[in-house]
Amino acid sequence: MFIDAKGLACPKPVIVAEEALAKIDEGTVEILVDNEASVKNLTRFASKNAFYSEAAKEDNYWKVKIVKGYPCETPEAVGSQQSAPKGTVPDLRTYHPFNSPPKLGGEQGEVESGLSPEQAEQEPGKELLLIIGSDTMGKNEELGTILIKAFFETIKVTKEIPHTIFFLNAGVKLTTVNEEIIPILKELEAMDVEIFSCGTCLKHYNLEAELKVGYRGTTNHIVEGMKDFKKTVWIS
């Protein structure tokens, strides 16, 4: 399946890729994008969903290939070898939902793939999962708006920044329509902080098309994160 997502702002390339993959049991989806942020989001999405992925720069765009339902190689590679035993698929239990995406920036045409299950198992424990359940801090809306901004500004300069921030409930307004917070969150994302917004919450507030930073997540990220992170902090 082929998708031309050039010109689509984040997180639309991830959304269309997710929809395409949901329609197939196994196979390959190729997505063309014209910015590195979308490449990073797509490969990260693939890694967290136990899909093999690879990205290559071609002229002024990138081609991201995501493979579903095969071992960690493309269907072409599988077909060129002996047939795998029936039912051979990646063991989802060996994948960590917060695997870091492959690093980008290689030479033109260079391909870098997602993490294998073995790499995921070897990845060290994460320090901090931060869950934001409101667009303010505390019950006083005016004061809480000031405090939540100060909170994120302080996070930027702390020695140990969160590995992952998950926004849910009214907290998704911070990643979509709060023009004071969004630039701060983009700075944190540039510092390799992974940012998720609850997809159900975005839909509830009719903000699915407004996501400005990070990409959609599910409550599974919270459940798995609470097990695998050393610390979980909830702010609402």
pLDDT value at residue 72? 53
| pLDDT band (50, 70, 90) for residue 69 | confident
Same-domain status, 228 and 164: yes
* C-beta separation of 201 from 168 below 8 A: yes
Residue 73 token pair:
């190689």
What confidence tens digit (pLDDT) does each residue in 128-166 have? 999 999 999 988 889 999 999 999 999 988 878 899 999
Residue with tokens 């979509």: 176
Same-domain status, 51 and 135: no
Strands 52-58 and 112-113: antiparallel
Same-domain status, 82 and 136: no
Output 14 or 73, whichever has higher pLDDT.
Answer: 14
Strand locations in the chain (E)? 2-4, 27-33, 52-58, 61-68, 112-113, 126-132, 164-167, 194-198, 215-217, 229-235
Output 77 or 226, whichever has higher pLDDT.
Answer: 226
What confidence tens digit (pLDDT) does each residue in 4-54 have? 999 887 678 888 898 899 899 899 999 999 988 788 889 888 887 889 999
pLDDT value at residue 196? 93
Chain-centroid distance, C-alpha 148: 23
Same-domain status, 10 and 46: yes
| Counted domains in the chain | 2
Same-domain status, 63 and 137: no
What confidence tens digit (pLDDT) does each residue in 161-215 have? 899 999 999 999 999 999 999 999 999 999 989 999 998 999 999 999 999 999 8
Using the predicted structure, report yes or no on whether residue 124 has a pLDDT greater than 90.
no
Same-domain status, 96 and 191: no
Q: Which domain holds residue 194?
A: 126-235
